[in-house]
Structure formats: structure tokens, C-alpha cells
Amino acid sequence: MRKPHRRLDVLDRAECLALLGSVRLGRVAYNAHGAPRVEVVNFLLDGDGAVIRMGIGSRSAAVGRGGHFALEADRLDETGDIGWNVTAIGPVRWVSDPAEFRRLDRLLISSAPGDRSHLARISFAQVFGRRLRAVAYDG
């Protein structure tokens, strides 16, 4: 069986943002009670950041402390031969402006049950990503 040769390309910020804008599901990582935590979230790319919907809990406590969140999203084909991964890191804050909240509230849909009536914005201070490509086959 022939195996693909793979190449890993580093993506620039514009490519990373375009890829993040193409998906609505990712993961956020944050500090909760002194330990790292990672959770799946629906998100919306908005300008040079992302907005997530949430209820009250450990994530909202982290927002209240003025911490930083990492947002990660990826896509891989079923064989693992091609795909991409993007991570964006930055400070997080509540969306408190009423007009901004109304606009984002209409656009961001959550697939999780329960009260998710709070919106938080992650402002991207760092964005980095990689794309895995299958480039040739060996014999």
C-alpha cells in the first residue's frame, strides 16, 4: 500500500481567519480554578475576534476575572491526510454594548441546551495555524 507524503504549511493570519470564518464549532481553553479546561463551543468570527455564547459557570467566571481564552478549530479528512488547525489567543470580555449584543445575538446560534444568554468576545492577540497536505505518493 502506498502512503502519502505529507507537507505541513504554516498559515499566515489572513488564512487563519478565513479558515476560522468557515466553521462554527471549535474549542475554548481557559483557566478554571487553577487548572486548564477545554470545552466545545459554537462561535462566530466577528472582525478580528470571535464571539461565544455561554451560561453561568466556570467559563463565565473566567471571563469575569478578565483572563485570556484560546479558541481552536480544525478540520481533517477521514484518512488524516489533509486538513488544518488554527488557534487564536487573546483577552476575553463580556459583550455589554446593547446594540452590539443585539446584532451578535441574532447571528450566533448555540447547539447546546440550557440558558446561554451571555455573549463574550475573544479579541485575537495571537493567531497561528497549520495546514497538512498530501503532496505525493511513494512506491
pLDDT value of residue 34: 82
What length is written for the chain? Answer: 139
Model confidence at 1: pLDDT above 60: no
Rounded to 5°, the CA angle 99-31-28 comes to: 55
Bridge partners (DSSP) listed for residue 43? 52
pLDDT (tens digit per residue) in 118-130: 899 999 999 999 9
| C-alpha radius of gyration, the chain, whole number | 17
Indicate the range of 2-6, 10-14, 21-25, 108-112 predicted with least confidence.
2-6
User: Which among 14-18, 60-64, 109-113 has the top mean pLDDT?
Assistant: 14-18
Which residue did the predictor score with more confidence, 108 or 63? 108
CB neighbours (10 Å) of residue 65? 10
